[in-house]
Amino acid sequence: MIGRVKGVVALGLGAALLAAPAASDAQVRMTVPPQSEAVAIRGATIHTVTEGVIENGTILFDDGIITAIGTDLEIPTGARVVDGTGKHIYPGLIDAYSTVGISEIGAVGVSQDINELGDFNPNVRADIAVNAESRHIGTSRSAGVLVAFSTPGGGLVSGMSSALSLEGWTWEEMSMESAAALNVSWPDPNPRRFWWQDDDDEDAPSYEEQVAELTAFFDEARAYRDAVAAGEEVRTDSRYAAMTPVFDREIPVVVAADGAAQINDAVTWALEEDLRIVIRGGQDAIHVADRLVANDIPVILTSTMAAPERDYEGYDGAYSMPARLHEAGVRFAISGGAGSLYTNRLPWEAGVAVAFGLPEEEALRAVTINAAEFMGIDDRVGSLEPGKQATFLITTGTPLDMTNDIEQAYIQGREIDMMDIQKFFFEKYMTKVMQYLRMVM
């Protein structure tokens, strides 16, 4: 939005008034067709993330796939050439924990499709519920987020996160990986109680009972998997069937846990169950960093722009957490804070970490290749390499700094429409202001 604000102000009153009719009649966001011609963007500074920075480089892509990156590349005959002189090219940012597409307006219940009834719903996949017309998709893309893991909630086993490419007419077109990761909400051994809650609620299961229920469900699902593999006749159960990729270690289990005791117990459980585990939240991850490093367990930090929750914590506890984890050797990704309203904050969540000690290249990895690796889509996105999808940004500088502009984005080779609802409203009400000024001048 900053780029558009600067552009409109620079045009002056006359140009803004001339642009007003088109702005008021415009669609908020239009889906564009798949790439139909080879494209070469040359002269830009290309930040590959995994293979360093290429000055005055060229990126070639065709049919949605990067075909070559480098300097002095031979451009194929018939390819459309785009001048990138003075610009920067970065991989599209990836939000490892979001509800984009399944959550629209917090105060309107029917626009929320996050939580399912019941405690065990591993067969739930977020992408099926995605609203491809969500306004949050446009604002997320304008901030540089081109891939998001839309994640269900509720219960102990919430369901499967789905990797979404944020361009397409339907959820089928947007879905990159329908069942990318199973989500588990680890019980809290020391739940916070509020004044209106009854301390003697006998119906509420204890911490130990909830962990036992979770373990029993995994035991039942594993027995189902083994029976099917052995050719035994079993009654089909979609919940148990959905767990097979988890036991085969094909997809990770993302465990929501913040406290040190929670994280420790979750790690112990995952090791006993022989699961690939990723910790989500990780408020106390620094206090169990040695164990996370020893078992190569990554963390998805759900917010760096957060206030401390304990009286004894410093004001910068969340801001500096990424830097401290990096120093301790813990692998991590940074998310936009789960809510669809916050997916567009992802680059600034990482930017805050840079301001509080995290090297910029590590912050960029935390919102690109790290997120892709943890969730199993690093063969397609997360860095700029030949053979990967042409999903990237053209910017005036690092996308982690809100003073820089994201001028254009490509998703799977599509040159996407950069309009979004916030830009639309800016132009709409700027038109109103300009018309008023014209009347009074």
DSSP string, 173-210: HHEEEEEEEEEEEPPPSS----TTS-TT-TTSPPHHHH
Express each pLDDT in 253-301 by its tens digit. 999 999 999 999 999 999 999 999 999 999 999 999 999 999 999 999 9
Express each pLDDT in 151-199 by its tens digit. 999 999 999 999 999 999 999 999 999 999 999 999 998 876 655 556 5
In the chain, where does the domain assigned CATH 3.20.20.140 lie? 93-381
How far is the C-alpha of 129 from the C-alpha of 114, rounded, in Å? 9
Reduced to 3 states, what is the DSSP secondary structure of residue 244? helix
Nearest to 434, CA basis, from 28, 3, 2, 24: 24
Express each pLDDT in 302-336 by its tens digit. 989 988 888 888 999 999 999 999 999 999 999 98
Burial of 10 (0-12, 13-18, 19+ CB in 10 A): exposed
What sign does the dihedral 324-326-331-337 (CA atoms) show?
positive
Sheet holding 277-281, edge to edge: 93-98, 145-150, 157-165, 175-185, 253-257, 277-281, 299-301, 332-334
Nearest to 212, CA basis, from 275, 119, 282: 119
In the chain, where does the domain assigned CATH 2.30.40.10 lie? 2-90+418-440
- Quick one: 2-90+418-440 is in which CATH superfamily? Urease, subunit C, domain 1 (2.30.40.10)
- pTM equals 0.90
Q: What is the DSSP letter of 130?
A: -
Q: What is the DSSP letter of 103?
A: B
Domain at 93-381: CATH architecture: Alpha-Beta Barrel (3.20)
> Checking DSSP bridges between strand 277-281 and strand 253-257, what pairing results, if any?
parallel
